[in-house]
């Protein structure tokens, strides 16, 4: 018996969930996505915001990062069509110092959040990104605090809702491949327990997919 590999497993950057909510931030483009996927318009434009502070004292640094985080969140909440989701928070208990060899900062702390704007039919990525930038940069922060806006990306609300559709398409694809190959052996599909992944493919569209592998057993010739 020999095995035909139908779909190759791929490695994508780890997808970030926005604050543990149902919103998933899309990963960057990869050419090695399984053939079974669904392309659709994203639900959100997401702008990652990183807050840093250069205070030497770790307690002061933590307080000022928290203050900036809360100030930005409160300002965004004043706009009913925007939302905030907290991401990774990394707080160092060490004093800020410099490495003599690399001049890198030690004891640095940072907090990340995402500001989301709904990508409705009449909205554009450019307009939403501009608006989010204007709202965030207008928030006053203490001296020594940096607010860094990252590259705009896209977000999807509850991508797991596409699992039944994707499973049906995967099953159909396996049956068709088996027929085309003239195989009589069983089909083995691995990875269906993986989460539904999201990948950005254009300025406003994403693809959702399950990272799976399918094998068809064929009789030796």
Q: Which two tokens stand for residue 218?
A: 């064929």
Kindly report the CATH number assigned to the domain that includes residue 133: 3.30.70.600
pTM: 0.75
- Number of separate domains in the chain: 2
Residues 102, 170, single domain; the answer is: no
Residues 177, 73, single domain; the answer is: no
C-alpha 114/C-alpha 29 separation (Å) is: 20
Question: Distances in Å between the alpha carbon of 216 and those of 2, 170, 188, 197, 220?
Answer: 8, 13, 6, 24, 12
Residues 53, 150, single domain; the answer is: yes
Structural domain of 77: 44-156
> Each residue's pLDDT tens digit in the chain (221 positions)?
443 333 333 333 333 443 445 889 998 878 888 889 999 999 999 999 999 988 888 888 889 999 999 999 999 999 999 999 887 787 776 665 554 344 444 456 888 999 999 999 999 999 999 999 999 999 999 888 999 999 999 999 999 999 999 999 999 998 888 888 887 777 888 999 999 999 999 999 999 999 998 888 776 55
If you write DSSP's letter for every residue of 47-85 in order, what string do you get?
Answer: EEEEEEE--SSHHHHHHHHHHHHHHHHHHHHTSTT-EEE
Residues 48, 152, single domain; the answer is: yes
C-alpha 84/C-alpha 76 separation (Å) is: 7
Handedness of CA 195, 196, 198, 204 (dihedral sign): negative
| Neighbouring residues of 134: CB distance < 8 A, sequence distance ≥ 6 | none
HSE on the CB side for 138, CA within 13 Å? 10
CB 186 within 8 A of CB 214: no
User: What's the pLDDT score for residue 220?
Assistant: 56
Domain termination site, one of 156, 171, 205? 156
CB 32 within 8 A of CB 10: yes
User: What's the pLDDT score for residue 178?
Assistant: 83
User: What's the pLDDT score for residue 150?
Assistant: 93
């Amino acid at each position: 018996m020999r095995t035909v590999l139908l779909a190759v497993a791929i490695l994508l950057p780890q997808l970030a969930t926005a604050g543990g909510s149902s919103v998933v931030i899309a990963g960057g483009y990869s050419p090695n996505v399984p053939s079974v996927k669904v392309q659709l318009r994203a639900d959100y434009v997401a702008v990652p915001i990183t807050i840093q502070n250069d205070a030497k004292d770790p307690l002061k640094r933590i307080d000022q990062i928290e203050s900036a985080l809360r100030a930005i969140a409160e300002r965004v909440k004043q706009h009913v069509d925007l939302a905030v989701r907290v991401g990774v928070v990394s707080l160092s208990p060490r004093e800020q110092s410099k490495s003599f060899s690399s001049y890198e900062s030690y004891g640095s702390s940072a907090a990340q959040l995402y500001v989301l704007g709904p990508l409705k039919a009449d909205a554009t990525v450019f307009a939403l990104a501009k608006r989010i930038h204007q709202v965030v940069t207008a928030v006053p922060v203490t001296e020594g605090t940096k607010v860094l806006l990252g590259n705009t990306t896209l977000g999807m609300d509850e991508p797991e809702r596409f699992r039944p559709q994707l499973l049906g398409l995967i099953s159909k694809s396996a049956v068709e491949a088996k027929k085309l190959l003239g195989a009589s052996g069983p089909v083995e599909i691995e990875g269906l327990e993986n989460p539904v992944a999201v990948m950005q493919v254009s300025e406003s569209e994403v693809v959702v997919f399950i990272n799976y592998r399918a094998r068809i057993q064929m009789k030796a010739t």
